[in-house]
Structure 1
Amino acid sequence: MRRRGARDRSARTIAIFIVAAMLFAGGGALACGYHTPSDIARGTLNYIYPKALYVRTAVWQAQNSGLLPPRPARVVKDLFAYQRIADGLQQLGDALALPPAPRFGFTVILLDSMLWSRYAPGESGFDVDVHVKGSKKGDAVLVTQSEVILALNAGSLSFDVAEVQGLIRLYGPVDRQEAVRSVLRGLPVDARADPPQGAEGASG
């Protein structure tokens, strides 16, 4: 029995190592959900970024509490979903101001679609590369969902509230995480964007 348990642990360790290698080497196997099934990709992502999937629960709770717009009563096939969120990711990059040196890039992964995008410092702001294969070495990685990106763009949600409520999780080098926080705190927020009373986070 002990030998079997050791084999199981060894197999799991090897599997995690392979997934990590794919993810950090380009992550082509973890393709986005607009083009391939993404349930397995979400599970493997959760190994690399512990508790990343808590974001999905937090979004569900935020929709129930009114912090985010409610879920549609009926899911309808949206032929323009990819273009809409690609535009939203680009809009976010356009709204971000470049920090003083040292400049840095970061990566965003959307759990609802498993779409990776990278934000790299450009001449006057962040250049956005939508639909990349994964993060680059040393990047901070921001895990969230498309509903949160759209709310940040609309100014109906601040970054700090989003993070406290578990709608965003950051991973990677601590200094890079803080740099990303600093940049995202500069997004304009509507004065009426206070969270509803009783909204509780799911950061866990």
Structure 2
Amino acid sequence: MRRHVCMSRLFLLSLAVAATLSPSASSACGYHDDVSMARGLLNWVYPDALHVLGSISTAVAAHRLPPPDPAAGAPDLFGAKYRKTLRSLERLGRGLGATSGGRRGPSVSVVLIEPMLWARFEPGEGGLRTRVHATGPEPDDVVLVSGEAVIDAIARGRLTIGEAHRFGLVRLYGSAAQQVQFLLAYDRVGREPPADTVDEAVQSKPSSQQTIAPIAAPATATAVASSPPQLANSHKGRALACGPGHH
């Protein structure tokens, strides 16, 4: 615990230095700004978080995920990429809320590794509350690190959270008990597409679309059986976030 407190203080000091060096650093995101420093801090606070990028590349090569948009690295001048990601996160929130069935599961903070955009999903009396452009996780949150294409695939019913976790496309951080609770509650989220994605597919179908190979069925039905080694990690601080009000 003492070690975690010390690392949190060092991390906050790093954020202060980053904000001094770049006036917009505390509110920047990858849709408009360079977030290389934020990504490095994320990997320091949540060890091996950047391994998600390698797993995504492997999944693209195996046709489990679509290839990245050639214009993905260009500035999001008109906000189209941000709006697409926003829809994916909102659909993910609906999927998490529907799967929970009214039960109060752990609060979840999701960070998308490419733009360093945070979103938070918090169970409440009226259901699951989705907050996009969060400043970072709360102390007791499960932190889910993933990428835009992965969250989009889950939101569209092409990939489940459990499958993404087993393929390393999602990395979880928090106590072992929190992660077990999360996987037991949300392992099957993404099994079926939400109604609005079905409507989209009917209304506009691309003329040429790469075939995405289905994810292989897991070897075991137990969500926790093949958890990656990051289970032992706990929160050490907040990562430099895509701040609220930027868009």
- Same-fold call, TM cutoff 0.5: yes
Indicate the residue corresponding to 1:178 in structure 2: 180
Residues 1:140 and 2:160 are matched in the alignment: no
Aligned counterpart for 1:195 among listed residues 215, 232, 241: 215
Residues 1:154 and 2:174 are matched in the alignment: no
Partner SS state of residue 170, structure 1: strand
Partner SS state of residue 29, structure 1: helix
Query: Which aligned runs of 4 or more in structure 1 are off by greater than 6 angstroms?
Result: none
Asked if 2 retains the 8 angstrom alpha-carbon contact of 1:32 and 1:116, the reply is no
Asked if 2 retains the 8 angstrom alpha-carbon contact of 1:93 and 1:125, the reply is no
| Higher relative contact order (CA closer than 8 Å, sequence separation 6+) | 2
Partner SS state of residue 107, structure 1: strand
In structure 1, runs of 5+ residues without a counterpart are 1-13, 198-202
Q: C-alpha deviations, 1:139-160, integer Å up to 9, x for none?
A: 1100000100110112211222
Mapped partners of 1:185, 1:49: distance in 2: 22
Indicate the residue corresponding to 2:33 in structure 1: 36
**Residues 90-109 of structure 1: pairs in structure 2 closer than 5 A:** 90-96=90-96, 97-98=99-100, 102-109=104-111
Asked if 1 retains the 8 angstrom alpha-carbon contact of 2:160 and 2:188, the reply is no
Aligned counterpart for 1:114 among listed residues 113, 116, 125: 116
Asked if 1 retains the 8 angstrom alpha-carbon contact of 2:161 and 2:190, the reply is no
Mapped partners of 1:105, 1:52: distance in 2: 19
Indicate the residue corresponding to 1:85 in structure 2: 85
Given the superposition, is the C-alpha separation of residues 165 and 131 from structure 1 closer, same or farther in structure 2, using an over 3 Å criterion?
Answer: same
In structure 2, runs of 5+ residues without a counterpart are 1-5, 20-24, 193-211, 218-227, 230-247
Mapped partners of 2:27, 2:10: distance in 1: 12
Given the superposition, is the C-alpha separation of residues 86 and 188 from structure 1 closer, same or farther in structure 2, using an over 3 Å criterion?
Answer: closer
Residues 1:52 and 2:49 are matched in the alignment: yes
Give the counterpart letter for 2:214 in structure 1. Answer: D
Mapped partners of 2:118, 2:34: distance in 1: 15
Give the number of equivalent residue pairs.
Answer: 183
Percent identical pairs in the alignment equals 31
Shift of 1:65: 0.6
Partner SS state of residue 37, structure 1: coil
Give the counterpart letter for 2:69 in structure 1. Answer: P
Mapped partners of 2:104, 2:213: distance in 1: 32
Asked if 2 retains the 8 angstrom alpha-carbon contact of 1:67 and 1:196, the reply is no
Indicate the residue corresponding to 1:4 in structure 2: none
Shift of 1:193: 7.0
Q: C-alpha deviations, 1:23-68, integer Å up to 9, x for none?
A: 7xxx983742224321111111101111000000110111111010
Q: Which moved more, 1:86-95 or 1:70-79?
A: 70-79
Asked if 2 retains the 8 angstrom alpha-carbon contact of 1:65 and 1:196, the reply is no
Asked if 1 retains the 8 angstrom alpha-carbon contact of 2:110 and 2:120, the reply is yes
Give the counterpart letter for 2:93 in structure 1. Answer: G
Asked if 2 retains the 8 angstrom alpha-carbon contact of 1:16 and 1:47, the reply is no
Shift of 1:127: 1.2
Shift of 1:186: 3.3
Mapped partners of 1:34, 1:93: distance in 2: 21
Give the counterpart letter for 1:91 in structure 2. Answer: R
Indicate the residue corresponding to 1:19 in structure 2: 11
